[in-house]
Structure 1
Amino acid sequence: MRLINRRPDRGTALVLAALPFALVALAYVLGSAERLAENPADKLLPSFATMAETFGRLAFVADARTGDYILVSDTLASLERLASALFISTALALVLGLLIGLLPLVNALLAPFVALVSMVPPLALLPILFIVMGLGEASKIALIVIGVAPFLTRDLAMRVRELPREQIIKAQTLGASTWLIALRIVLPQIVPRLIDGVRLSLGPAFLFLIAAEAIASDSGLGYRIFLVRRYLAMDVILPYVAWITLLSVAIDYGLARLRDAAFPWFGRGA
Structure 2
Amino acid sequence: MTRIINRQPGRYGRLVLGLMPFVILLAVYIVASDARLAENPSDKLLPSLSSFVDAITRMGFEPSKRTGEYLMWNDTLASLHRLCMGVGISALIGLAIGVGNGMIPFMRSPLSPLVTALSLIPPMAILPILFITFGLGELSKVVLIVIGICPIIIRDIQLRTDSLPNEQLIKAQTLGGNSWQIIARVVLPQTLPRLIEAVRLTLGSAWLFLIAAEAIAATEGLGYRIFLLRRYLAMDVILPYVFWITLLAFSMDWSLKRLSILAFPWYHKEQGGRHE
Alpha-carbon spacing, 1:252–1:162, altered in 2? closer, same or farther (3 Å): same
Structure-1 residue corresponding to 2:155: 154
Deviations 1:47-88 (A, max 9, x none): 111112201211110001111000010000001101111111
SS in 2 for 1:265: helix
Partner Cα separation in structure 2 for residue 199 and residue 4 of structure 1:
26
Structure-2 residue corresponding to 1:122: 123
TM-score, reference length from structure 1: 0.97
1:33-182 pair list within 5 angstroms: 33-182=34-183
Partner Cα separation in structure 2 for residue 206 and residue 133 of structure 1:
20
Structure-2 residue corresponding to 1:20: 21
Partner Cα separation in structure 2 for residue 11 and residue 138 of structure 1:
45
Structure-1 residue corresponding to 2:232: 231
What amino acid does structure 2 have at the position aligned with 1:230?
R
Report the CA distance between 1:9 and its aligned residue. 2.6
1:169-248 pair list within 5 angstroms: 169-248=170-249
SS in 1 for 2:266: coil
Partner Cα separation in structure 2 for residue 196 and residue 3 of structure 1:
28
SS in 2 for 1:243: helix
Partner Cα separation in structure 2 for residue 260 and residue 14 of structure 1:
20
Gaps (5+ residues) in structure 2? Answer: none
Report the CA distance between 1:4 and its aligned residue. 2.5
What amino acid does structure 1 have at the position aligned with 2:18?
A
Deviations 1:123-153 (A, max 9, x none): 1110111111111111110000000100000
Partner Cα separation in structure 2 for residue 45 and residue 139 of structure 1:
35
Partner Cα separation in structure 1 for residue 155 and residue 183 of structure 2:
17
What amino acid does structure 1 have at the position aligned with 2:137?
G
Q: Comparing 239-248 with 50-59, which one deviates more in the overlay?
A: 50-59
Report the CA distance between 1:8 and its aligned residue. 2.3
CA RMSD of aligned residues (A): 1.0
Alpha-carbon spacing, 1:189–1:141, altered in 2? closer, same or farther (3 Å): same
Report the CA distance between 1:118 and its aligned residue. 0.4
Count of residues paired in the alignment: 270
Partner Cα separation in structure 1 for residue 254 and residue 118 of structure 2:
29
- Identity across the alignment (%): 54
Gaps (5+ residues) in structure 1? Answer: none
Report the CA distance between 1:7 and its aligned residue. 2.6
Partner Cα separation in structure 1 for residue 79 and residue 179 of structure 2:
40
